[in-house]
Amino acid sequence: MTAAPKTGGAPAIDRAPFADFIVHEARLLDDRRFRDWMGLFAEDGTYWVPAVPNQKSPFDQASLFYDDRDLMKTRVDRLEHPRIHVQTPPSRTAHLVGNTLVEPADGAKDEYLVSSTVIMVEYREDRQRVFAGRQHHRLRRDGTGFRIVQKRVDLINCDSAFEAMAVPI
């Protein structure tokens, strides 16, 4: 869990570049630039949406999404496929990201844990629905930017029964 903001001691981390990065990431999803979105992930990066609250591990429990780069590529290839029926017509999404907190990752130099609140509204075929929750990005400094080591999205309704979900949150 993210600690309360420090008021003294070590200099505070400048949150702006981190907040800008996760806003940029959300914008790529809203623009359906899925391949560019995948490119934000490190080669060892993963995208995880647990299926139960406080899920400890993606390995011994079902998840809504748990993609490494290989599976992410299959997902993106499919999202770009002309005959992906569940995206005919495509979803339109609007992400809102805020309440961002940043702290250094334990034990990993140049890695940071960024937690934020995410709301994604999705519209498709005359229906609109809302996904909301807390997202956790583990980011690695890469030159002047960042790469995503893990993006985890904890939806508040993660253990409910969902209609088909085609696009990442």
Closest CA to 111 of 23, 27, 18: 18
126 touching other proteins, by CB under 8 A: no
121 touching other proteins, by CB under 8 A: no
- How far apart, in Å, are the Cα atoms of 21 and each of 99, 139, 157? 14, 10, 26
* Separation CA 72–CA 34 (nearest Å): 10
Q: Which of 1, 3, 10, 161 binds other proteins (CB under 8 A)?
A: 161
Nearer to other proteins (CB atom), residue 61 or residue 128 = 61
A 10 A CB-CB count for 111 gives 16
Instruction: Looking at residues 57 to 116 of the shown chain, list those that interact with other proteins (rule: CB under 8 A).
Output: 58-67, 71, 74-75, 77-78, 81, 83-86, 88
CB of 48 to other proteins, least distance (A): 10
- Which residues, in sequence order, are CB contacts of 121 under 8 Å at separation 6+? 93, 94, 128, 129, 130, 131
**Segment (H or E) for 72:** helix 69-79
Instruction: Looking at residues 35 to 64 of the shown chain, list those that interact with other proteins (rule: CB under 8 A).
Output: 49, 51-52, 58-64
- The site that binds other proteins (CB under 8 A) totals a number of residues, namely 32
List residues near other proteins by CB under 8 A. Answer: 49, 51-52, 58-67, 71, 74-75, 77-78, 81, 83-86, 88, 159-166
